[in-house]
A = this chain, B = another copy of it.
Amino acid sequence: MRNIKLEIEYDGAAYCGWQIQNYQPSIQKTIEAALRKILQEKVKLIASGRTDAGVHALFQVANFTTGSAIPAEKLQRALNAVLPDDIVITRAKEAGLDFHSRFSARSKAYQYLILNQRYPSAFLRNRAYFYPYPLSIQLMRQAARYLQGRHDFRSFCASHSGAKNTIKKIKKISVSTIRYPLYAKRYRLIAVEIEADGFLYNMARNIVGTLLEVGRKKIGSGSLKKILLTKDRSSAGPTAPANGLYLIRVNY
């Protein structure tokens, strides 16, 4: 038996998310079907974590075990030939049998892109949240600082998630402006990057939705402390849309 680790990039716009849901195209289902075609064997793909409908990945990790002797590089090429253009295997390599994409992960990082200008972009549709209102990056940064470290993030967890342990550690959170180099001078993008030892359901998007309320001066940057303490989802801001969110790193 071999354990194959895949690194995957996908544009989530056309999918119902990572996880298989009957009758809807999912990333997992699509890759499993491609693997079955190539390996002539049914395999079960385990990801570092599920991504929701519309969420993207620059770096998702998944693994599966197989009896096949196909070299990993050859498998990568075969997968990319079979998969649709919006899913790309950026690396395939053999891992130890004890490697588990989810349980072995020490932390994951997400990036959220906000297109903060007066008009939208033809090229960033479905890839950034178009938010035309003036934002104070400084206030967003101040607010983000309160979230760093180990906290009970229940206020940022989808209320229907049913998670028992809502304590997570945010190792890094940053708010920065980036210039889109292909189209220099044209796009004003803000990126929120969050690295944590784990993410609750909708946690990244709820944090971003709250930081946007701060940036727009609807809530004070200091209230983040209070919002954490209430442990009540309704005290935080709205959930930012899925299409601005990218899984960008999984650390093992």
Q: What separation, in Å, do the CA atoms of A11 and B183 have in the docked complex?
A: 13
- A interface size (C-beta, 8 A): 33
B85, B121, B248: the one within 8 Å of A9 (CB): B121
Scan A113-141; emit 1 where CB is below 8 A from any B CB, else 0: 10000011111011100000000000000
What is the chain B residue whose CB lies nearest that of A79? B119
Q: What separation, in Å, do the CA atoms of A113 and B88 have in the docked complex?
A: 19
Binds B, one of A17-25, A158-166, A173-181, A233-241: A173-181
CB-based contact B127/A80 at 8 Å = no
CB-based contact B122/A183 at 8 Å = no
Q: A58-B183, A58-B186, A186-B58 are in contact. Are A9 and B86 (CB under 8 A)?
A: no
Tell me how many chains of this kind the complex includes.
2
Interface presence of A90 (CB below 8 A): yes
CB-based contact A76/B11 at 8 Å = no
Q: What separation, in Å, do the CA atoms of A121 and B89 have in the docked complex?
A: 9
Interface presence of A39 (CB below 8 A): no
Can you report 28 A-B residue pairs in the complex whose CB atoms are below 8 A from each other? A9-B122, A9-B123, A10-B122, A11-B122, A11-B123, A11-B125, A56-B122, A58-B123, A58-B183, A76-B119, A80-B119, A80-B120, A85-B122, A85-B125, A86-B122, A86-B125, A87-B122, A88-B119, A88-B122, A89-B119, A90-B119, A90-B186, A113-B182, A178-B181, A178-B182, A180-B182, A181-B181, A183-B248
